Amino acid sequence: MKNKYLAIIFLFGFLFSGCESILTIDPVDEGVILESDALKTKDDLQELLNAAYDVVNGFYGGRFQRTSELLGDNMVLRDGITDEMVNIYKRYTTGYFTDNESYEQAYICILRSNLVLENLESVSGLSADDATRMAAEAKFLRGIAHFAVVRLFAQPYGYTSDNSHPGIVIKTNTKVELLPRNTVSEVYQQIIVDLTDAESGLPAENSDFAYATRWAAKGALAQVYFQMHDYDNAFSKATEVINSGSFTFATNFEDYNPGNDAVFKLVSNEVSGKRVGGDFGVFRSDGTNIPNIRIAPDVYKNVIKANAGDKRTENWYQVFNPGADNEYVALTKFNDEFPVVAVIRLTELKLLRAEAAMLKSSVDKPAAISEINDIRERAYGSSSKNLLETADMEAVLNAVHTERRLELIGEGYRLHDLKRMGAAGADIIIRGVNWDYVGLVIQFGASEANEVFVPNPEPN
């Protein structure tokens, strides 16, 4: 089985050389077992689907989050770093110094998902229920992978009035071909089609939410609609997940771990030695780890420590070398050797629902206040910081923006929240540049550019 699976990998160029485009690998390789010989049974196809899940760790296991945080306004980079993180943080990525890993790993996930979809009717021992589930899982993975890439490598939804600006290449098959970038509008519509199909075909439970469920699809759709400024649908999908009864909101901070607040998650296994979330290592400060990405001093002083008694401040941060010239603040929430990474999580959906409640066509201020107060009561251990029902619209929106920043710090949401607000008309400045600055969009690897694929502009 393992040899068969490795053959499939080579067949579609999933282990590729750094000088070739991930989108244009020639699948014909002398001496490689053919797809028709390698994928014969349900078990073969399930193993390939599992491999598509495994590679999610290559982009949502900290890499996407790390890159998003480097571009945002919460973090600073340790002096002396010489890898691609410098270019990302300075907002000058080139074809040779960019986030190749997030791009490549996401498209590997997409290719494996497409291969599963193309072979559902050709393998033996696959029931109708199995086929429905596996197709839905593959489409879920394909949808979230496209969503990760389009947010990093294209200007946000709303950048142009009709979203005709360049997005990324949509891949819904394993055919080897040169393709131009689709528009952002086309990419988002494909993501919605995939996740909607997944929602209808996925089970309510699936291996303790380490595999896709209908709730994961609904949560992903909520995030996509949210980024599209479609707050009615974002509110509706988030509400379905929150009210499903499948997930429990931890009301006591002592019982709360962001990694376990999961609607869809990546799971480490200490017994087998499997680790996920390795790219969060750039934040870690435990043991002998020295964090390369640290909290911006002004953010720590003016945002994180702004309210006394916040248990997040006490538990998620550590000041090193206090008072010295080399003082820095570490984010400790990722100090875990065998972490669980919540790709979609309940707390984020509650905060998403709160903001969507205030921005949708029919404002629901009580729903927004209820969600915000749930978060604050957990953070402070009491209702002392709760919003009153008489709070005005501006106060409620400011509260949800603050809580999203405080709760989700280090998880990559801040940059995309700012871009979304900027595209909606807000005056957004991110570390001295406008939200639509070209350097806030990651450059494609040099191997992707060709006669039909136009890379992103580079900063002057």
The tens digit of pLDDT for each residue in 12-41 reads 444 333 335 666 544 444 344 455 567 899
State the pLDDT at residue 179. Answer: 95
- Check whether 383 has a pLDDT greater than 90: yes
pLDDT score recorded for residue 324: 97
Return the structure tokens found at 126: 């696959």
- The pLDDT confidence band at residue 353, using thresholds 50, 70 and 90, is very high
Q: Say what angle helices 346-359 and 214-227 make with each other, to 10 degrees.
A: 40
Cβ-based neighbour number of residue 426 at 10 Å: 10
> Measuring CA to CA, how many Å separate 150 from each of 157, 187, 196, 349?
9, 8, 18, 20
Give percent of the chain above pLDDT 90. 89
Q: Which residue reads 């100090």 in tokens?
A: 335
Whether the CB-CB separation of 180 and 169 falls below 8 Å is answered with yes
Structural domains in the chain, sorted by start? 2-260+340-448 (1.25.40.390)
pLDDT computed for residue 60 by the predictor = 98
| Other CB atoms within 10 A of residue 459 CB | 15
Read off the pLDDT band of 42 (50, 70, 90).
very high
CA of 441: how far to CAs of 129, 208, 361, in Å?
A: 41, 35, 30
Tokens 């291996």 belong to: 207
Judge whether residue 8 has pLDDT over 60: no
Point out which residues pair with 264 in neighbouring strands.
344
In this prediction, residue 240 carries a pLDDT of: 98
User: 10 pLDDT exceeds 70?
Assistant: no
Let me know: does 213 contact 264? Beta carbons within 8 Å.
yes
C-alpha of 305 from chain center: 27
Residue count (the chain): 460
Mean pLDDT of the chain: 93
Q: In 3D, which of 54, 204, 189 has the Cα closest to residue 136?
A: 204
Quick: pLDDT tens for 329-341: 999 999 999 999 9
Angle at 144 between CA 139 and CA 146, to 5 degrees: 95
What are the distances in angstroms from CA 181 to CA 166, 176, 298, 405?
6, 15, 39, 32
For residue 203, pLDDT beyond 80: yes
**Residue whose tokens read 């131009």:** 180
Distance (Å, whole) CA 328 – CA 79: 11
Mean pLDDT of 119-135: 95
pTM (two decimals):
0.94
In angstroms, the CA 24 to CA 275 distance is 30
Higher pLDDT, 32 or 395: 395
Angstrom distances, CA of residue 342 to CA of 81, 258, 406 = 28, 7, 17
Q: Residue 305: how many CA atoms within 13 Å on its side-chain side? A: 12
Q: What is the pLDDT of residue 37?
A: 61
Angle, in degrees to the nearest 10, between helices 413-423 and 393-407: 150
pLDDT tens-digit readout, 217-275 = 999 999 999 999 999 999 999 999 999 999 999 999 999 999 889 999 999 999 999 99
Q: Which two tokens stand for residue 308?
A: 């006394």
In this prediction, residues 43-58 reach a mean pLDDT of 97
pLDDT tens digits along 402-432:
999 999 999 999 999 999 999 999 999 999 9
Cβ(245)–Cβ(233) below 8 Å: no
Residue 460 has pLDDT above 90, yes or no: no
